[in-house]
Amino acid sequence: MPDTQNPVWFISGCSTGFGRALAEAVIARGWPVVATARDAERVADLAQGHEASVLALALDVTKPSEIEAATKAALEKFGRIDVLVNNAGYGYQSTVEEGVESEIRDQFDANVFGLFALTRAVLPGMRENRRGHVINLTSVAGLVGFPGSGYYAASKHAVEGWSDSLRAEVSPLGIAVTCIEPGPFRTDWAGRSLKQTATQIEAYQDTAGKRLQSTRDISGKQQGDPKRAADAMIAIALDPDAPRHLVLGRFGYDAVLKAQRERVATIEGTRDLSLSADFPDGA
């Protein structure tokens, strides 16, 4: 776990949404923070009046040179990184059949490969210090597949699976790993960080088509409060027994619990068929 007295935070994607809410909450507590965004001007205000404890930097996680520069600057100013929050990324909605190759690959570059690369850059310092916490913002879609979100869900499922392996590797070194799985939150995600390929195939209009439209319609009306989410993330970061998962919001909690229970029931229901694939005892 990180230094709980004066933890140094590094947060990607702080221009708006969860990243900004979390950066503001960390700053309010007087802790050092590296607040990043693709455009440094979008986070410059966070450092005003807090120049000694806040470092606002440009960081596009799809660019290795910017990852190297940002982590180097963070270590030069604060000497260490205790909490890494991988928040940068965006959504892409389409049916699986109608997904656009370039859009799919761009999303994976940001949501998956950029997250991987930034974590690799920060891990050596955490490993040397034998402490730290890697917090990955995934989504309820990282645990549940919804119509119209196949590629977005795939990117978040990838981070979830990778986080399982990361946790197994670094837990013995004193480094915690948690995935945060938000449901709908009032972050203007739909208007700001969501790309869509409209459904043209009639067969999908009542499933994916309706969900794409509802995603746009609900923007600004979601039940989730980003500031309360930030408080929950801070609580997890300081928890010596931090959980592997933190689902945020009632919608997410109910959806994930339902999906996980159904999954366990299915696995248990096919037990005999599963075990029949082994060689007989003694063979």
pLDDT digits (tens, 9 = 90+) for 68-85: 999 999 999 999 999 999
Q: What's the CA gap between 4 and 238, in Å, rounded?
A: 6
Q: What is the pTM of this model?
A: 0.93
Looking at residues 98-109, what average pLDDT do you find?
96
User: How many percent of the chain have pLDDT more than 90?
Assistant: 82
Cβ atoms of 176 and 132 within 8 Å: the answer is yes
Looking at residues 177-194, what average pLDDT do you find?
79
Short-list 39, 4, 35, CA closest to 22? 35
pLDDT of 1 above 60: no
Q: Name the token pair of 168.
A: 């197994």
Instruction: Lowest mean pLDDT of 147-151, 160-164, 223-227, 272-276, name the range.
Output: 223-227
To the nearest whole number, what is the mean pLDDT of the chain?
93
Interior CA angle at 23 toward 164 and 59, to 5°?
Answer: 75
Per the annotation, the verdict on 152 as an active-site residue is yes
pLDDT band with cut points at 50, 70 and 90 for residue 221: low
Q: What's the CA gap between 274 and 268, in Å, rounded?
A: 9
User: How many percent of the chain have pLDDT more than 70?
Assistant: 94
pLDDT band with cut points at 50, 70 and 90 for residue 217: low
Identify the DSSP state of 201. -
Q: What's the CA gap between 231 and 189, in Å, rounded?
A: 19
Q: What's the CA gap between 9 and 13, in Å, rounded?
A: 13
pLDDT of 186 above 90: no
Q: What's the CA gap between 89 and 69, in Å, rounded?
A: 19
pLDDT digits (tens, 9 = 90+) for 125-183: 999 999 999 999 999 999 999 999 999 999 999 999 999 999 999 999 999 999 999 98
Domain ranges of the chain: 9-270
Superfamily of domain covering 9-270: NAD(P)-binding Rossmann-like Domain (3.40.50.720)
Question: Which one from 90, 152, 204, 253 is the annotated catalytic residue?
Answer: 152
pLDDT of 283 above 90: no
Q: What is the pLDDT of residue 187?
A: 75
Sheet holding 33-37, edge to edge: 54-58, 33-37, 9-11, 83-86, 132-137, 175-182, 245-248
Continuous H helices in the chain = 17-28, 44-47, 64-78, 101-108, 114-129, 150-170, 189-192, 210-217, 226-237, 250-269, 271-275
pLDDT band with cut points at 50, 70 and 90 for residue 199: confident
